[in-house]
Amino acid sequence: MKANTISIEADGLKIKGTSERMVQLLMAGMFAQAIPPAANVQPVTAHSLPALGAEWPGQGGLNGGLVAARGDVPAHYLIIASNDAGDHEWGGRGIELKGLSKTDGYTNTQVLIGNDDERKYPAADACAEYKADGHHDFYLPAAAELYQGWLNCPEVFAQDCWYWSSSQRSAGSAFNVLFDDGGQYGGGKGLELRVRPVRRFFI
């Protein structure tokens, strides 16, 4: 049996179809009138990125540059604290910790401050305690993150001292960077070297 059809004509335009189809078109037209057009929605504007080494308002420090996604860590910007957190020992001299990375300072710091014995890791502790702009997720940067600071904005670091990373080199030493020339070294864990906290800004 052939379905009954109806037709609608307006302003020289004629539409013909089943009664069910005409009802659907009528309802669609009513919803189109009730819902504001997309043009009335305010577009999302991309915020401008601060220059490398410049203050990033509200983020607790300076723009250290984009870090590509690696493993389970999505791409993010490295925020370098505006100030150093003093001179501290790395700690745990003579102990080789497992699970420390050359690239993931956040996880390194969690391992260092979360150890379940009496060992102290003052450099990592100082970074984990650092707060700025309401952020309390700073950490001791890994060797690669510290080196990124030298590549992108070495001038924001002191040039006459070494900075600790959270990357271990051996039971007796850990990686550190001299920002005068970008040299990476392995310093004894008992040395008191400069510390600069960093955090991640995911966008």
Q: What is the mean pLDDT of residues 39-62?
A: 75
The one-letter amino acid code at 98 reads K
pLDDT of residue 18: 60
What pLDDT does 31 receive?
43
- Rounded to whole angstroms, the Cα distance separating 150 from 165 reads 12
Q: What is the pLDDT of residue 20?
A: 63
Whole-angstrom distance, CA of residue 16 vs CA of residue 12 = 13
| 119 vs 52, more confident | 52
Sequence-ordered list of residues with C-beta below 8 angstroms from that of 110, at least 6 positions apart, any chain? 139
Q: Are 120 and 91 in contact (CB under 8 A)?
A: yes
Instruction: Please choose, from the candidates 118, 98, 110, the residue with its C-alpha nearest in 3D space to the C-alpha of residue 170.
Output: 98
Query: Phi/psi of residue 174, each to 5°?
Result: -140, 160
Which domains, from first to last, does the chain contain? 5-40 (no CATH), 55-201 (3.10.100)
The pLDDT of 76-105, averaged and rounded, is: 96
> Which region among 2-6, 52-56, 149-153, 181-185 has the lowest average model confidence (pLDDT)?
2-6
**147, 131, 108, 119: which is closest to 197 by C-alpha?**
131
Does this model's pTM top 0.85? My answer is no
pLDDT grade, residue 19 (50/70/90)? low
According to DSSP, residue 2 is labeled: P
